[in-house]
Every structure is written in structure tokens, then in C-alpha cells.
Structure 1
Amino acid sequence: MSRTRLVGALALVATASLTLSACAGSSNSPGGTTGGSGGDAPASIKVGFMGDLTGENSAIVIPPRNGAKMAIDEYNKSNPKTKIELVEYDSQAKTEQATALTQKALTQDKISALIGPAFSGESKAVGAILEQGKIPSVSPSATNPGLAKNNWTFWHRVVANDDDQGPGIVNFLISAKSPKKAYVLSDDQEYSVGIADAFEKTFKDKSIPVDRDKFAKDASDYSSTVNKVRAANPDVVVFGGYYAQGARLIKQLRDGGVKATFATGDGSLDIQLVTGAGAAQAEGAVIGCPCKIPFDTATGALKDWATKYKAAAGADPAIYATEGYDAATAIIKAVQAGNTTGEKINEFLKTVSFEGISKPIKFKANGEPEANSIFVYQVVGGKIKLLGPSAEAKLEG
């Protein structure tokens, strides 16, 4: 983070702190109308969802938003003592926008909890503000490992971090392709750099020579990077980043004559990686994710859930839809138990334990999930196909 951005974020923390102090008598009162005087539970509280809902990588965020909304709608239909109003905050993955929206959520909307932020950069930018405001957050999709190292006590996520995802993807590539040389690429976003670091470290730990390059998020011409990769002639190219950049990168690498196996992480697990690059150029690309989709082969309770999701959202469940549902459910269970302020919800989250749709949900002391698994996908015939858990998957073709 630049010095200017850091100073701005700290100033907003101070502003949020002063505003919250002025309202200290409410003890972080949630939004909505109260059910009566004294110790009565409020009739409703507000819970936020924050993420890129309209930006270039919004396809990663809309499914978890839909999952969260589905969980809250189901809860509200049960006629609970305290209903939950979901308030959406469209950050467009911009840290400055996420910071301003977080201040609004705390001081004007008076949310009691937040689902998100969805991406790592915005999570880093607003974590201190949420901590200062004593508002618990549960991210369905932010994977940067550093988020768990800030000593935040109100921060949680239901997804494995890149220190698990990076090695899972690289170790799969080593097993499947036996590369003698690798090239790791990223843009300059928080998530991209973090997972690229994990890729690079794993190659080095396995004594495989690896080169590294980075380009600007908003760049459209990657020719300098393509030239470097072509000159290095690696066996595998591994990209840390989102599908909008990943699609352009694949196309330009292939157009530039680079034929190495292309692999990437969860930020690129969307069909737009294929359509943006072109099916022929994307063919064979490997994608890893601490998530399991699609659901067309699901059975039992998961199949029933997927059917309900499609009816509610008007689309098949996609990346992190289950994690969004589970993140919301963790907060819902806190409210069901009579916890309606940020501090009380946070205390409940320390001991919450239930069988989620994505995985068993239970948090470590630092907010990390107790359970995690890495799955591998491959672009086959213009479609993204699940190959299986990273330790068991086999490449096709």
C-alpha cells in the first residue's frame, strides 16, 4: 500500500472511531427498529455484503452474494424474533471505494456484521476500520495469507488461504508435468502478488528454477512480459490473478508463441477466462481453487441445495456460492442465539461449529477456517472441468 493510501486509510479509521465514540451509549446498536424497551431483542439488524458486484471481475463475487442472500432470505422466512436486512456494498474491487463504503456501513447504516470483503486488497484496506468499530466480518473468498497475520480479532474467512492453494496447484503441476523450469506471473493487486509469492516459494522449495515478472492491473499490452517468458522457454507458466487479466494474458502468450502449460488460481475460475482468451488458446489451462464446483453431479443434500440456489438466483451455483451461504449462516446462527451487536456476534463466532454446504465451518483463533481442500480444474473442449482434489487429480489430454 502506498504512503498516501495508508495515511488516508488511517484518517478514516480515526473518523470512524470518533463517530462511534459519540454513539458509545448505544453499545454498537444495530440498525433497524427495536422490539421494545430494556433488554428486548431488536426486530431487525443490518448485515452487510461487500465486494465487486459490477466491476470486471464481478463474476467471482456475485455467486457468494447470491449464496449469502439465499441464506438470509431462508432465515427471514422462518419468522425469527430478529430479522436480518442484507445491505449490499459494491466496492468494484477498489480499495478506496471499499474504505469509504465501510465507513458508511459503520457510521450511517450501523451494520452489526459484514459478509466479505470478497477480495484480499479491499479486506486489507478495511480490516483495521472494522476492528476499530468492533464489527465482525466473514469473507467467503479473500485468500491472501497476510490477512490472518494482523492480530485482528473481528476478522474471519471460510476459505483456505494461498499458502495452501499455491502449493496445492504447484505440487499438482510437478506431479503431472515434471517441469524443469517455471515462470510465475502476476499483476500488482494484493491477491495476485500474494498467490504468486506462494507459487514461487513452492517451486524454489522443490528446487525447480523459476523466473518472475509482474505487470500493472490496468495494462492491456503484456508484450514485455510475453517476450521475457518466450526467452526463458519455461515448461509451465503460473499466473496469480483474476480472470479478466488472466484471459488477456493467455491470449497474448499464445499469440506470442509461448506453448508452455498455463496454470492459475481461484481468481480465474470463471468461464470468462476461456471466452476472453479464446477457447483454442485456453485449451488445457489448469485452474486451482479451494472450492468445489460444478454441481451437475451433486447428490443428496448438496443437490437439493443447488436446486434451491438456482431457483433463488436464476443461475447455477458457481465459484464461492456455497462459501457465501456458509459465511452468512455463521452470522445467522449467532443472531438465532440472541446475539445482535457486533461484539456479541463476534464472541459467538469464536465457538461456532456446524456442517456447512462447502465444508465443516469452525474458526481458528486467528479467524482462519479449520477445514480446507484444494481442487484442480482444466479447460477441456472450451469448458472448465473438475479433475478432483489436487493430490488425486489427473490431467486430460
Structure 2
Amino acid sequence: MSRKRTVVAAAALLAGALALSACGGGGGGAGGGGGSSANTIKIGFMGDLTGENSGIVIPPRNGAKMAIDAYNASNPPKQIELVEYDSQGSPDQAVPLVTKAIQQDKIVGLIGPAFSGESKAADPVLEQAKIPSISASATNPGLAKNGWKYFHRVVAADSEQGPAIADFLVSAKSPKKAFVISDDQEYSVGLADAVNQDFTSKGVAVERDQFAQASSDYSSSVAKIKADNPDVIFFGGYYSQGGRLLKQIRDAGVTALFATGDGSLDVGLINGAGPQAAEGAIVGCPCAVPGASATQGSLKTFYDGYKSKFNVNPAVYATEGYDAATAFIKAIQAGDATSDGINNFLATLSFDGVAKPVKFQPNGDVVSTDIFIHQVKNGQLELLGNSKAAKLG
């Protein structure tokens, strides 16, 4: 495994932070509405917390809460209040929510937005207000091409994820034909296009299709897939659509290897398709979720602490949520309590996170670009390893 690990000292610090979190209780709720008090700083968290794809967003929210609870339990000069904004992943909801966060709640930073579509809509508002944001899961490449100075993410873009998944599939299956399909959401189209382009560059014949996000009957697309008889199928999108699509593909008798990206790295993919239909499916992600990587060191400390705190195993982007919150915490600990001060600090930030080394490029992208491959085995998502070394089970 080529994944970079945190240093021993960082692991010890994390263990201490988790111990503080265990006895610290609630989420830094000191200070009321209407803005930060002299001793309280407000950091927002925005994403789909109750909608159909909330399974991707609750883990990073929990990771962020875990880091902030541990920080607050250490009795710092300034407490952090994590203010949650449930956008349900909708760009239309994200804009008024982020406006409220800035104007009424007076946040000095935002973890999120979680999805690419809502990020595209809300980030210009954050940019105008000079509020730094760090997304744990928005992966569309275009987000880093707008010249934004307050945008950051602790996750590799789809321009890294898409080719890595396609390269893995080419290496594992040597496909002559591939079918790439997505819904019409910002994230979905961007990831599918990245995979399509990489397949094409490697001489794989590709058919491309797209359906509306609100669709639930994919019979037209399934008919195209069946007629094309591809060696591999790639779906760009979230697990709520992916599970239904995979079920209908298998019901039609199509047995080609099904692969997808981080938006479907959730048990909802298996539940939506059914365990039998989902078996063997490949899911790539700029994150590594439980498996061999959680047996020792800081990752094991994180996973143990997360499970103890939330009574559930950590899932997709839980570590990225923790690292995003940690970046804000480090800025505040350095004495940068204003939004501009925090943003200036983030430009120089470099630390060994739980998920990966955290250092931002000038465009806001994280320097680390490792992509990991997971596979559905016996009804569970299992980590196969780094995309450059993983082997099909």
C-alpha cells in the first residue's frame, strides 16, 4: 500500500485528542445565535444531512464534530461552535443557507459544501464574503478552476479519481468496450466524463448515456447497455441512483463488471441493488474506508474513537471531515480567528492528517491525489487498496 501514514507523534496527539473527546461531550454549543461571541467562533457544516444521499455526508459531519468536540474539551481560549446547514445536496437550498450562515450566523469558515453541484452554486457567495471553505467530499475538477481564493478541499478531484478508476479497470479486465453512464448532476457528469476520456485515450470503445436525476426507471439506458454488450460499465453518480440502476441492469441479464465512484461508496448501493446484484461491484474513492488500513497507528485510533463516540463504524469521508475541521482548528490555535486570518493561514498549512497529508495548492486542491479501490464482497464494501496496486478479488 502506497498510502502515506501519519507520523508517530501525530498518532500520539490524535490519541490524546480522542481521549479528550470521549470525556468532553457536546459540540461546542457555547454562544448563542446572531454571531460569534468573544469566546466562541462559529464554523459551519453544509451538506445533505437528511436527504437520499445523506449517507455520504453524515460521516464527514461526524468526523468534523469529533475533532471540534476534542478541541473544545481541552478548554481553549476560544471555543468552536459547529453550526449545521442541511442543504439536502440541493444547489437551490445551498445558496440561501450559506447566505444565512454568513449574514445572520456570522460564521468565519465552512466545512463544505459536501457535493459539487451545491459547491458550484454556494462558493461564489462565500468568495464574495471572503469566508474560507474546506470541502471534505466535493470532487468536480471545475471547482478549482475559478480563481477562487477562499475555496479548499481535502479530497482529490475527479480529474484524478476518474482516470485512476479507468486505469484500474483497464489493468484488471483489459476491456475492449465500456459503457459510461451518469445522471445529470454536476458531480455525476464530471466524473463520468473523466472516466470516458481516459478509456478513449487507452483505445477502449466507449458508449455514453445520461439520465435525469429524478428518474427511477432506467429501462431505456439499460436497453442501450444490453445492446452494446460492454465488458465493463461505469456509473457516475450517487448511491441512491446507482443502486436502482445496478438492480435493473442485473435484472436485464447484463453481467458486465459494474464500477462507480465515491458518491456510491455507501451501503446504500448494496441495499438499493440487493446483495446478489451488487456482489463484485467496484467503487473507487479518494479515500480509504475500513479494512486493513485501520489495523494500526493513527487510523486505528481514529476508527476506534469514532465507533466509540457514534456507535457505528466510520464510513466514506469521515476522516476527511475530521481533517477539514482540524485545519480550521489549527488556524484558530495560531491566533487567526477572523475569516481573512484563517484563509491566510490555510495557504501555509501543512500537517499529517488522519486521512492523508494536508497541504493546499494555490487553487485550493489538496496536494495528495491517491485513489483507493473498494469492492462489494459478501454484501460488504471491502478495501482492495491503492488503485495503482489493487487487485480484483
Would the TM-score normalized by the shorter structure come out above 0.5? Answer: yes
Aligned match of 1:68 in 52, 64, 68? 64
Greater Cα shift, 327-336 or 253-262: 253-262
1:32 aligns with 2:29: no
Q: CA deviation at 1:31?
A: 2.5
Aligned match of 1:305 in 294, 302, 306? 302
Aligned to 1:58: 54
Rounded to whole Å, the distance in 2 between the matches of 1:240 and 1:301 is 32
Rounded to whole Å, the distance in 1 between the matches of 2:132 and 2:337 is 11
Aligned match of 2:376 in 358, 365, 379? 379
Q: CA deviation at 1:295?
A: 4.9
The C-alpha deviation readout for 1:75-102, integer Å capped at 9, x for no partner, is 1111111111100000000111011100
Q: Which protein has the larger Cα radius of gyration, Structure 1 or Structure 2? A: 1
User: Which secondary structure state, in structure 2, belongs to the residue aligned with residue 366 of structure 1?
Assistant: coil
User: Which secondary structure state, in structure 2, belongs to the residue aligned with residue 109 of structure 1?
Assistant: coil
Aligned match of 1:103 in 99, 104, 109? 99
Aligned match of 1:293 in 289, 301, 306? 289
Q: CA deviation at 1:372?
A: 2.1
1:318 aligns with 2:315: yes
TM-score relative to the length of structure 2:
0.90
TM-score relative to the length of structure 1:
0.89
Aligned match of 2:118 in 122, 130, 136? 122
Question: Quick check: 1:359–1:372 contact (8 Å CA) kept in 2?
Answer: no
Unmatched 5+ stretches in structure 2 = 1-33
Aligned match of 2:166 in 161, 170, 177? 170
Rounded to whole Å, the distance in 1 between the matches of 2:121 and 2:302 is 34
> Percent of aligned positions with the same letter in both sequences?
62
1:211 aligns with 2:215: no
Aligned to 1:358: 355
Q: CA RMSD in A?
A: 1.0
The C-alpha deviation readout for 1:331-368, integer Å capped at 9, x for no partner, is 01000111111111000000011110001110000000
1:241 aligns with 2:217: no
Aligned to 1:389: 386
Aligned to 1:338: 335
Rounded to whole Å, the distance in 2 between the matches of 1:302 and 1:243 is 25
Q: Aligned residue pairs: how many?
A: 359
Rounded to whole Å, the distance in 2 between the matches of 1:86 and 1:263 is 35
Name the CA shift for 1:295/1:88 in 2 (closer, same or farther; >3 Å).
farther
Aligned to 1:254: 250
Q: CA deviation at 1:311?
A: 1.7
Rounded to whole Å, the distance in 2 between the matches of 1:71 and 1:375 is 24
1:113 aligns with 2:117: no
Structure 1 runs of 4+ with >6 Å offset: none
